[in-house]
Amino acid sequence: MMNVYSIIAIAAYLICAPFAASIFSGVDRIVTARMQGRKGPGLMQAWWDLMKLFSKESTTVNDIQKVLVVAHCFFAVFSGAVFFGGGDLLLVFFSLTMAEVFLILAAYSVNAAYSEIGAQRELLQMMAYEPMILLTAVGFYMSTGSFGVAQIIKTDIPLVLKMPGFFIGFCFILIVKLRKSPFDIATSHHAHQEIIKGLTGDLSGRIYGLSELAELYEEVLMLGMIGLFFITSDPLSPVYAIIAVSAVMFVMSFTDNIFPRVKWEVLLKLAWIVTFFAGGTNLLLLTLI
């Protein structure tokens, strides 16, 4: 059963995650603008963009598209609620995969060329990052004897010391998962990459807003996973986790601005190489220890 701390954590996630992710996005946009010699948008521009979408009328190709996008948003939010509530990591990753599947189905359901191409590329991205995500869950289990987040954070030492390979591999696929350049092959957040949006090209208004909202919740969840490598029974460990998350965010923003988009063949090759050497080697070491 959930205790009062889990309920508070879930409530905080449901209420604060969109605001926090909007701030993350604002910082990323400001850093990007400074690197390009521009002033850039305000810190909360992502939040105002989201509110603007929810104020518009939705135009969809068919009713099933609405259902699929709502399901995508629900499973994305549910995944984060399970994670921050101290639940099972396998359930978190399974639910997160279901969220992506529903978004892909929504893109396929409109029978439009650009959305279909985006859906195909999103499937390729899933093939690239899912093995590393599953290996990371296995790594946490082998290091702590539990898939439960509530039990994992009770360790005496930061798990990054036992799982450096998993940490490196997870940070790498995080760029793919969050669709950052050079791995934003399904859809792009930057206008300079492409004119056609891709995966979400046929979404509009409040329905598009739901997909953007789900993305904000997902971003906080994935950054929370980074923090899980550092949080222990030490009361100061959340501070170390915040520093680590900030460093990872800076590296992702820097990478997003200096590398051009790669082809899908390069994406799969790099992701599987990193998974095999970083994740596989660390898994072997945990088996031998």
For every residue of 188-217, DSSP letters joined together read -SSTTT-SS-BTTTT--HHHHHHHHHHHHH
pLDDT for the residue numbered 190? 59
In 3D, which of 211, 248, 60, 234 has the Cα closest to residue 122?
211
pLDDT averaged over every residue in the chain: 85
pLDDT band at 185 (very low <50, low <70, confident <90, very high): confident
In 3D, which of 247, 277, 285, 284 has the Cα closest to residue 131?
277
pLDDT band at 204 (very low <50, low <70, confident <90, very high): confident
CA torsion, ordered 180, 229, 17, 137, to nearest 10 deg = 80
On the question of pLDDT at 2 being above 70, the answer is: no
pLDDT for the residue numbered 49? 85
The answer to whether 276 and 284 are in contact (CB under 8 A) is: no
Integer angstrom CA distances of residue 53 from 18, 44, 50, 252: 14, 15, 5, 26
How far is Cα 79 from Cα 89, in angstroms, rounded to an integer?
9
Q: List the single range of 88-92, 169-173, 284-288 with lowest mean pLDDT.
A: 284-288
Structure tokens at 90: 């396998």
Distance of CA 128 to the CA centre of its chain: 14
Look at 186 and 182; give whichever has higher pLDDT. 182
pLDDT band at 76 (very low <50, low <70, confident <90, very high): very high
φ, ψ for residue 209, nearest 5 deg: -60, -40
Look at 89 and 41; give whichever has higher pLDDT. 89
How far is Cα 159 from Cα 64, in angstroms, rounded to an integer?
43
Residue with tokens 């200096």: 258
On the question of pLDDT at 284 being above 60, the answer is: yes
Degrees (nearest 5) of the Cα angle 154, 155, 158? 125
How far is Cα 237 from Cα 217, in angstroms, rounded to an integer?
23
Give the mean model confidence (pLDDT) for residues 44-68: 83
On the question of pLDDT at 230 being above 90, the answer is: yes
Give the mean model confidence (pLDDT) for residues 168-191: 80
pLDDT band at 82 (very low <50, low <70, confident <90, very high): very high
% helix / strand / coil in the chain, to the nearest 5? 70, 0, 25
Q: List the single range of 102-106, 107-111, 161-165 with lowest mean pLDDT.
A: 107-111
Look at 259 and 103; give whichever has higher pLDDT. 103
Strand, coil or helix: what is 88?
A: strand
How far is Cα 231 from Cα 281, in angstroms, rounded to an integer?
23
Strand, coil or helix: what is 72?
A: helix
The answer to whether 84 and 12 are in contact (CB under 8 A) is: yes
pLDDT band at 79 (very low <50, low <70, confident <90, very high): very high
pLDDT for the residue numbered 243? 92
Report the percentage of the chain scoring pLDDT > 70.
95
- Which range of 72-76, 175-179, 267-271 scores highest in mean pLDDT? It is 72-76
